[in-house]
Amino acid sequence: MKSNNDVIIVGGGIIGLACAHYLIEKNVSVRIIEQEVVGSGASHGNCGLLYFSDVIPLCEPGAVRREIFKAMMGKSSLYIKPTLDIKLIHWLLKFAAHCNATQMKAASKAKNDILRYSLDLFETFFLEHTIECDFEKKGLLLLFKDKKSFEGYESTNTFLQNFGFGAKALEKDEAQKLEPAIHKDIAGAWYDQSIWHLRPEMLVDAWKKLLIKKGLMIEEKCKMTGFEIDQGKIKSVYTVKGQYKADAFVLATGAWTPDMEKQLDLRIPVHPGKGYSITMERPDQSCEIPCYLYEKNIVATPWKTGYRLGGTMEFSGFTDELNAKRLSRLITGAKEYLNTSVRHPILEQWSGLRPMTYDDLPIIDRSPFQNNLFIATGHGMLGLTLATGTGKAVCDMICNGNARIDLAPFSMDRF
């Protein structure tokens, strides 16, 4: 049996690190157990947006019809591998059932609460710590090729204004004046200034170093294989390097979390939603403001130290295979919106697995059956953005019994 800790966090992604951060601030002794190396999962090569206004869930009314239509036209960034996987089929049906106005309203409110909370916490975090991660507050330009979609975004924007967010419509000329890298063929843009960006792998690296200095212990190449459970409590975790004991445990294992469902007797309907990115040095006339290429669902993120194109959503199980066609679509798609969208050589081609729930809300809860186990997963497209809110909520549940925000919408009861 390895040494005793107050808290063991299984999973060294951005969510695990954020949980560790707030616990260590409270003088809790923390150890992260990671099967690979810290930050090697979805938290590595994502687009780096702190997308605080992303209030609307993926399962909005009309989402299924729209994606089927786009898929028929060969224009969808979504791919679902034909499958007999009953769990995935169930997940997809549940997703479809959630595409209605009532669910959207409730999910938007819940998302807004945790997005706002995360925003405030990130603000404090960057004021209190020097973290080298190319962090900037430049907003996001949503670029539209299609005039109808550009004009149609007005209703989305009105919805977002109810939450105190909202973008400014820019005609093509105005958009090009603001961002000369934009292609002459776009129809228009919406400029959302509430969005920040950073380089995620730099954040993970710098955050890890900061926490190690403050006492965080990390076991890498240390896959957890199970729990020792006794009378409704977790006593220790079994890993390939031995057994680790603690008073409380956090499961922050991203897309892999359902591996533990059976042993914990829990329903954790999280599926891996694979995304891709391509990273390079900045093109000579790269955009200065991050751009969301609306019809293609591609993000172009410029940093001082580099440039990334990212996107796509593939439901094809736990594979890290790099699909050349999907990667090349990032480049061809970006060329339609940006003048210089690529620079050779390509430094990294990457895929990552987003932990997706069918209602597009994270799971942040205490296990109903093991009262010293806390689950923090299912952050889908927003794990980076929601890291601080999630980490603080988990810390407060462990240290005070309750979080400062309402976690009911993120509870496991809903499954």
The smaller minimum CB distance to ligand FAD, of residues 63 and 198, is found at: 198
Handedness of CA 371, 377, 378, 379 (dihedral sign): positive
> How many CA within 13 A on the CB side of residue 320?
8
Cis-peptide, bond into residue 362, ω within 30° of zero: no
DSSP 338: B
Rounded to a whole number of angstroms, the minimum distance from the CB of residue 173 to ligand FAD is 28
String of DSSP letters for 146-183: SHHHHHHHHHHHHHHHTTT---EEEEHHHHHHH-TTB-
Handedness of CA 34, 355, 274, 415 (dihedral sign): positive
Does 403 bind ligand FAD (CB under 6 A)? Our answer is: no
The smaller minimum CB distance to ligand FAD, of residues 187 and 382, is found at: 382
Burial 129-159 (b: 16+ CB within 10 A, else e): eebebbbbeebbbbbbbeeeebeebeebbeb
Does 390 bind ligand FAD (CB under 6 A)? Our answer is: no
Residues in the chain: 415
Widest pairwise Cα distance in the chain: 67
Give the C-alpha separation, 325 to 197, whole Å: 27
Does 302 bind ligand FAD (CB under 6 A)? Our answer is: no
Rounded to a whole number of angstroms, the minimum distance from the CB of residue 367 to ligand FAD is 16
Single residue of 139, 352, 391, 409 touching ligand FAD by CB under 6 A: 352
Rounded to a whole number of angstroms, the minimum distance from the CB of residue 210 to ligand FAD is 17
Rounded to a whole number of angstroms, the minimum distance from the CB of residue 310 to ligand FAD is 4
The one segment of 32-40, 112-120, 182-190, 399-407 that binds ligand FAD by CB under 6 A: 32-40
Give the C-alpha separation, 362 to 154, whole Å: 28
The smaller minimum CB distance to ligand FAD, of residues 341 and 385, is found at: 385
Per-residue string for binding with ligand FAD, 254-293, x by CB under 6 A?
xxx------------------xxx----------------
Does 46 bind ligand FAD (CB under 6 A)? Our answer is: yes
The smaller minimum CB distance to ligand FAD, of residues 234 and 381, is found at: 381
Does 35 bind ligand FAD (CB under 6 A)? Our answer is: yes
Does 49 bind ligand FAD (CB under 6 A)? Our answer is: yes
With vertex at residue 281, the alpha carbon angle to CA 54 and CA 119, rounded to the nearest 5 degrees, is: 25
Rounded to a whole number of angstroms, the minimum distance from the CB of residue 240 to ligand FAD is 9
Single residue of 1, 3, 27, 36 touching ligand FAD by CB under 6 A: 36
Give the C-alpha separation, 256 to 182, whole Å: 38
Give the C-alpha separation, 322 to 34, whole Å: 23
Count of residues engaged in binding ligand FAD, rule: CB under 6 A: 42
The smaller minimum CB distance to ligand FAD, of residues 33 and 234, is found at: 33
Other beta carbons within 10 angstroms of residue 36's beta carbon come to 12
Q: Tokens representing 193?
A: 């200034």
The smaller minimum CB distance to ligand FAD, of residues 182 and 251, is found at: 251
State whether residue 39 is helix, strand or coil.
coil
The smaller minimum CB distance to ligand FAD, of residues 134 and 174, is found at: 134
Rounded to a whole number of angstroms, the minimum distance from the CB of residue 354 to ligand FAD is 5
Does 41 bind ligand FAD (CB under 6 A)? Our answer is: yes
Give the C-alpha separation, 36 to 253, whole Å: 11
Rounded to a whole number of angstroms, the minimum distance from the CB of residue 44 to ligand FAD is 7
Considering only residues 211 to 230 of the shown chain, the ones binding ligand FAD according to CB under 6 A are 223-224
Does 249 bind ligand FAD (CB under 6 A)? Our answer is: no
Q: Tokens representing 298?
A: 């591609």
Does 320 bind ligand FAD (CB under 6 A)? Our answer is: no
Rounded to a whole number of angstroms, the minimum distance from the CB of residue 303 to ligand FAD is 12
Q: Tokens representing 149?
A: 């979609």
The one segment of 71-79, 102-110, 162-170, 350-358 that binds ligand FAD by CB under 6 A: 350-358
Rounded to a whole number of angstroms, the minimum distance from the CB of residue 184 to ligand FAD is 27
Q: Which helix (H) or strand (E) holds 67?
A: helix 63-72
Distance of CA 260 to the CA centre of its chain: 21
Residues at the site binding ligand FAD, with contacts judged by CB under 6 A: 10-16, 33-36, 40-43, 46-49, 51, 223-224, 252-256, 275-277, 310, 352, 354-355, 377, 379-385
